[in-house]
Structure 1
Amino acid sequence: MKKLALTALLTTLLATPALAEEKPGEHFEGEPSGTLAEAVANFSRYNQELADLLAKDELTMPDVGEIHVLTYTLENALGKISEEIEEMAEVLEEVHLGSETGNVERVRSNGEIYLESARILIP
């Protein structure tokens, strides 16, 4: 009986279109996030898709397959957001150091660069 259940489960997984496209040893790449704006858009869109799927009373194997696929795009988005936040922290440190020394130009130029990225995250 366990063997039959396992066979049924594996058959369902293989029949799931999202997973059927994935060949053994291969992974989906997900949608790229080349810029912070793309990353934030993908993060927002795919989080909503994940929330919609998780809100179902019952998750089907096709739902799980869809979640599997969308996590690749979410991982790409988070990676880009993380990378950009690191850069933002470095630029903000330049604003901070400029403010300590009274260097108005350093504060202004780095502050504008910082805010350009920060406004993408929090409009």
Structure 2
Amino acid sequence: MNTLVRYACVAVFAAMPAMAQDRVDHYAPQPSETLDAALANFSEYNAIMAGIMAKDSLTPDDMEDVHQLTYTLEVALAKLIAESTELAEQLEYVHQASEGSNGARLRDYGLTYLETAQKIVP
């Protein structure tokens, strides 16, 4: 796995428990059990937040709405990071297979990699 990806993942996951301890945990996030669900939640909830942030001034209700949104966004982002870590590992298999002379192995690894990668960026 790419060293930069590994460090980024470790840093985010290490910070998440500390962030969780500093807040009152009173909203249930939407689950992001799959990559597709995480991408949908991340897109939808960021769009909602963007609408709120586009206002000239934020009301206490707006701030509470953003607070509530962050629970789902944090869960979605954690899933995206986990999936990205796995994707980096898959890409490394593709890289190694491309150096060899085994076209069948390269095809298998490449198709598995692309299946996930194209969900993130079609």
TM-score (norm. length: structure 2): 0.78
Query: Which structure would you say has the larger RCO, counting Cα contacts within 8 Å and 6 or more residues apart?
Result: 2
Cα distance in structure 2, aligned partners of 1:101 and 1:31: 43
1:33 is paired with a residue of what secondary structure?
coil
Which position in structure 1 is the counterpart of 2:64?
65
Q: What does the per-residue CA deviation read over 1:11-54, in whole Å, with 9 as the maximum and x for residues that have no partner?
A: xxxxxxxxxxxxx9543231110111111111110110010000
Which position in structure 2 is the counterpart of 1:45?
44
Q: Which amino acid aligns with 1:111?
A: G
Unaligned runs of 5+ in 2: 1-22
Cα distance in structure 2, aligned partners of 1:86 and 1:116: 15
TM-score (norm. length: structure 1): 0.77
Cα distance in structure 2, aligned partners of 1:82 and 1:25: 24
Which position in structure 2 is the counterpart of 1:12?
none
Q: Which amino acid aligns with 2:98?
A: S
Which position in structure 1 is the counterpart of 2:53?
54
Q: Which has the larger radius of gyration?
A: 1
Unaligned runs of 5+ in 1: 1-23
2:96 is aligned with 1:92: no
| Aligned positions, number | 100
